[in-house]
Chains A and B, each alone.
Chain A
Amino acid sequence: NAGVTQTPKFRVLKTGQSMTLLCAQDMNHEYMYWYRQDPGMGLRLIHYSVGEGTTAKGEVPDGYNVSRLKKQNFLLGLESAAPSQTSVYFCASSYGPLTLVEKTQYFGPGTRLLVL
């Protein structure tokens, strides 16, 4: 099993450009999450999904959109990139709320995004 994978690993954008980050998981997890990590800030939740076809806002959703058309994929879109969106983006997934074991989140390796 590959676990959680993210594409691309690194990207440079100019202000105003758009892009989509792809997250894929092969663990049949219901829940998926997008975080951003900035120096000294820990991880902050951007958007999340509790199942195929559902999405919800996290702590810092402005400037981002997401889609979960297939259970295994969670896409994060930047419609008009800004320098403030320079960050490392992590995707994570989990089974769901049924048991404590299933509350563990599994993380991808991250995407480094630089917006000039």
Chain B
Amino acid sequence: SQQGEEDPQALSIQEGENATMNCSYKTSINNLQWYRQNSGRGLVHLILIRSNEREKHSGRLRVTLDTSKKSSSLLITASRAADTASYFCATERGGATNKLIFGTGTLLAVQP
């Protein structure tokens, strides 16, 4: 079963606008990661936030984590056409296997 669900399923914005995607999950986690997938390609890791962190930044990316609500958000600021992709959250529940449970993804389209 899927651990995470993402919201919205699809998002269309203009270049320069900010994009926010949300992820909800069901059980306690060690960390939460966000990945990007360009059409027809493999996934690329964007950022990891630990369960004891509330916010993390990386370039134009800002991730928040609320473990009490079992939710995370990914904010992409000043979006570019090249940001067009699907974005997935993935949770790791612990143990020595690094097993990730992926959400269903948000398809982001950035119009030039």
Residues of A within 8 A of B (CB): 4, 31, 33, 35, 40-45, 48, 50, 56, 58-59, 90, 92, 94, 96-97, 100, 103-110
What A residues does B40 contact at CB under 8 A? 110
- What per-residue 1/0 map shows which CB atoms of B48-85 lie under 8 Å from chain A? 10100000000000000000000000000000000000
26 contacts between A and B (CB under 8 A): A31-B98, A33-B99, A35-B102, A42-B4, A42-B88, A42-B105, A43-B88, A43-B102, A44-B102, A45-B101, A50-B97, A59-B1, A59-B101, A90-B42, A92-B43, A97-B96, A103-B31, A103-B33, A103-B92, A104-B45, A105-B45, A105-B98, A106-B45, A108-B42, A109-B42, A110-B40
Whole-angstrom CA separation of A48 from B2 in the bound complex: 17
Whole-angstrom CA separation of A58 from B102 in the bound complex: 13
Q: Once the chains bind, are B100 and A50 in contact (CB under 8 Å)?
A: no
* Chain B interface size, under 10 / 10 to 19 / 20 to 34 / 35 or more: 20 to 34
Residues of B within 8 A of A (CB): 1-2, 4, 31, 33, 35, 40-45, 48, 50, 88, 92, 96-105
What A residues does B35 contact at CB under 8 A? 107
Q: Which of A31, A45, A56, A107 contacts B43 (CB 8 A)?
A: A107
Q: Once the chains bind, are A107 and B42 in contact (CB under 8 Å)?
A: yes
Q: Once the chains bind, are A109 and B41 in contact (CB under 8 Å)?
A: yes
